[in-house]
């Protein structure tokens, strides 16, 4: 498996384009084949999520995705649902596609009607420059951005020749009234929808679902996975493992980019919890550490504040015993062990700790000393800018 450029356009059979005018962007991705999706669990569910989830469940197949940024089309009732259908039909009409095979995604302000007129105006320009160059994937990745500071793309080529590429947006619940992480994943492998679905759920669990920026879950989150089958390669059983590895790699890359691009973030925080009795214990502890506002502010303050880390693990619901905990901080290529099997006497070289805490990427490793299971979660620090971004605004 090797990392490659080109994002979604690295995958055979995918063409894309996107434009952004001020805060409103429009993206179209054409790629026909079996498809699967994972959607927000928020009970306040945006219209495009309701529509696309329903279509994926009935058809297990997609021919295109149309995405707008600037308006989430959420909490907009039946009108909003009709608007989402209208978006899909507009694209289907122009390209003579079956509207049932067109997915819709939106990100932006909650509680405002979509401006279909604007989308109708932007659509010809987007369709006019569709293509399969790396630049087209870039254009799409940029057009779905809201307050993201960087476009997010990743792609790999597996040893068997299969390619997997994706673009994503999101840095937590972004902008006042605004949220959402969107990810569109493509492969040219020849795989049926049920295999895509199983692989996607597994990979999302260990990538996007392990990212915490502020713990808020958006009304619009959506990850779509389509197989163009264009490589003609049907992963054998061994390849299937590599296929899942490749997918996990791509989604994890994007997950880390989201965490690092978290609102106001200055640092990427990775919590690696090992030695858990059950995977669930490791997962709970890792997520509690990257979610804790006290850990996040300590990281921002460059403070090796390990008391907050063990406290977070302690209330996470994970099974643990404090006298079995071992804790290390890693950063800038250095590592310091702060707690060893509950013993804090080795409280460490402060100079080295300072150097570690100054790094842009901080890794916290917590060994529960109770078993073999492990999990990793990603987050960012909590800064003045997070408060500014989310407070200095009036609806």
- Residue ranges in 84-113 that form contacts with a second copy under rule CB under 8 A: 109-111
Interface with a second copy (CB under 8 A), residue from 117, 128, 237, 394:
394
Q: How far is the CB of 354 from a second copy (least distance, A)?
A: 8
Q: Please answer whether residues 167 and 150 qualify as being in contact, where contact means their C-beta atoms are separated by less than 8 angstroms.
A: no
Select from 1-9, 163-171, 182-190, 289-297 the region that touches a second copy (CB under 8 A).
289-297
Decide if residue 179 touches a second copy (CB under 8 A). yes
| C-beta closer to a second copy: residue 173 or 203 | 173
Residue among 40, 107, 146, 180 flagged as catalytic: 180
Question: Of 295, 306, 308, 286, which is closest to residue 267 (Cα–Cα)?
Answer: 295
In the three-class reduction of DSSP (H, G, I as helix; E, B as strand; rest coil), residue 166 is classed as strand
Active-site residue flag, 76: no
Residue with tokens 């260990």: 206
In whole angstroms, how large is the CA radius of gyration of the chain? 22
Select from 154-162, 192-200, 227-235, 381-389 the region that touches a second copy (CB under 8 A).
381-389
DSSP string, 183-233: EEEEE-S---HHHHHHHHHHHHHHTGGGEESSS---SS-EEEEEE--TT--
Lay out the sheet containing 334-339: strands in order across. 211-212, 373-380, 268-276, 361-367, 326-331, 334-339
Decide if residue 382 touches a second copy (CB under 8 A). yes
The residue count for binding a second copy (CB under 8 A) is 66
Q: Taken in order 99, 100, 102, 107, is the CA torsion positive or negative?
A: positive
Rounded CA-CA distance 19/101 in Å is: 23
Decide if residue 232 touches a second copy (CB under 8 A). no
Interface with a second copy (CB under 8 A), residue from 54, 159, 161, 322:
322
Which spans of this chain sit near a second copy (rule: CB under 8 A)?
41-45, 74-75, 77, 109-111, 173, 176-177, 179, 214-219, 291-294, 297-298, 300-308, 310-315, 318-323, 325, 339, 342-344, 347, 382-384, 386-388, 390-395
Residues with a known catalytic role:
180
């Amino acid at each position: 498996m090797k990392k490659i450029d080109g994002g979604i356009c690295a995958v055979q059979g995918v063409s894309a384009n996107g434009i952004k005018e001020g805060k409103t962007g429009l993206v179209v991705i054409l790629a026909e084949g079996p498809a699967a999706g994972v959607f927000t669990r928020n009970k306040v569910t945006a219209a495009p999520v309701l529509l696309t989830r329903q279509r994926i469940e009935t058809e297990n197949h997609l021919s295109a995705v149309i995405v707008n940024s600037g308006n989430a089309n959420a909490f907009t009732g039946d009108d909003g649902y009709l608007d989402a259908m209208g978006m899909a039909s507009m694209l289907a009409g122009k390209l003579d596609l079956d509207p049932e095979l067109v997915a819709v995604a939106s990100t932006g302000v909650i509680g405002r009607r979509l401006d279909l007129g604007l989308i109708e105006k932007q659509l010809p320009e987007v369709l006019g420059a569709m293509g399969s160059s790396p630049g087209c994937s870039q254009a799409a990745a940029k057009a779905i951005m809201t307050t993201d500071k960087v476009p997010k793309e990743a792609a790999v080529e597996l040893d068997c020749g299969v390619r997997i590429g994706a673009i994503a947006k999101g840095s937590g619940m972004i902008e006042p009234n605004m949220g959402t992480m969107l990810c569109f994943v493509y492969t040219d492998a020849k795989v049926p929808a049920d295999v895509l679905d199983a692989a996607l759920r597994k990979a999302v669990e260990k990538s996007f679902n392990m990212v915490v920026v502020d713990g808020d879950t958006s009304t619009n989150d959506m990850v779509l996975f389509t197989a163009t089958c264009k490589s003609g390669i049907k992963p054998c059983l061994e390849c299937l493992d590599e296929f899942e590895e490749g997918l996990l790699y791509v989604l994890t890359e994007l997950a880390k980019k989201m965490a690092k691009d978290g609102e106001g973030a200055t640092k990427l925080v990775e919590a690696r919890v090992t030695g858990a009795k059950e995977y669930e214990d490791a997962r709970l502890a890792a997520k509690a550490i990257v979610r804790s506002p006290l850990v996040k502010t300590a990281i921002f303050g460059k403070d090796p504040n390990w008391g907050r880390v063990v406290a977070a693990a302690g209330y996470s619901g994970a099974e643990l015993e404090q006298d079995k905990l071992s804790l290390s901080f890693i950063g800038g290529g250095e590592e310091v062990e702060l707690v060893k099997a509950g013993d804090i006497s080795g409280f460490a070289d402060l100079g080295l700790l300072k150097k570690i805490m100054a790094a842009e990427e901080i890794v916290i490793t917590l060994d529960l000393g109770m078993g073999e299971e492990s999990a990793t979660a990603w987050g960012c620090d909590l800064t003045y800018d997070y408060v500014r971004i989310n407070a200095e605004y009036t609806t």
